[in-house]
A and B are shown apart, each in its own frame.
Chain A
């Protein structure tokens, strides 16, 4: 079972470069999320999507863009990378059982902007 797959696992960018973090899930979940995790901090929600073609901003969306053309894929785009975007990025998908939402996380992408 693949679950939530993120690529790449590690990346170093120079200031001003752009890149796309890939995320795909094979569980047919409608909800998908991007979080960032800074050292000693909890996760902050960047963007989320409740289904193909629908995306919305989370707590810290500035400097990022997303798209959701299919149920499976939810890429996160960084334009003009800045040192403040150095972080570990987690993609997640979720489903609701009768009463509760259950998130499944990818293994993360460690990004350094120098």
Chain B
């Protein structure tokens, strides 16, 4: 079956690095995503990684993918108070007849302390 698991809460100090972890079960997933949800707002796509990559860097964000272990992580360098939000991991299946079927994790609440 399809399932995405995340830890629910992470607290870090401003300036430290944050690492948010995610595991997924569907080995046929071709794209994996990280979304950010700020209070009272919808989800915003942060970054994504294609399944044939093992790392992607985008400014302060680094995504690591371990396909063997079906493990995805998001590292935020120099975490700022503005990074406080809920972060969702999601997977999608390319070519599925159920177009746009994104499976989301439960979300990890990142708390950044000054």
Residue ranges of A at the interface with B (Cβ–Cβ < 8 Å): 4, 31, 33, 40-45, 48, 50, 56, 58, 90, 92, 94, 99-103, 105-108
Contact = CB atoms under 8 A, between A and B. Distances in A.
Contacts of B102: 43, 45, 103
| Chain A binding surface SS class | strand
A42 B88 contact: yes
Given A42-B107, A101-B92, A107 B41 contact: yes
Contacts of A90: 42-43
Task: Determine the main DSSP class of B at the interface with A.
Answer: strand
Contacts of A102: 45
A42 B4 CA distance: 9
B45 A103 contact: yes
Contact of A31 (B42, B44, B99): B99
Contact of B100 (A41, A48, A107): A48
5 contacts: A42-B103, A42-B104, A45-B102, A92-B42, A100-B50
A94 B43 CA distance: 13
A100 B47 CA distance: 12
Given A105-B43, A107-B42, A43 B104 contact: yes
Interface in B76-114: 88, 90, 92, 98-107
Contact of B44 (A40, A45, A101, A105): A105
Contacts of A33: 100
A42, A43, A48, most chain B CB atoms within 10 A: A42
B85 to A, nearest CB: 13
Given A42-B88, A48-B100, A107 B40 contact: yes
Contact of A43 (B8, B88, B99): B88
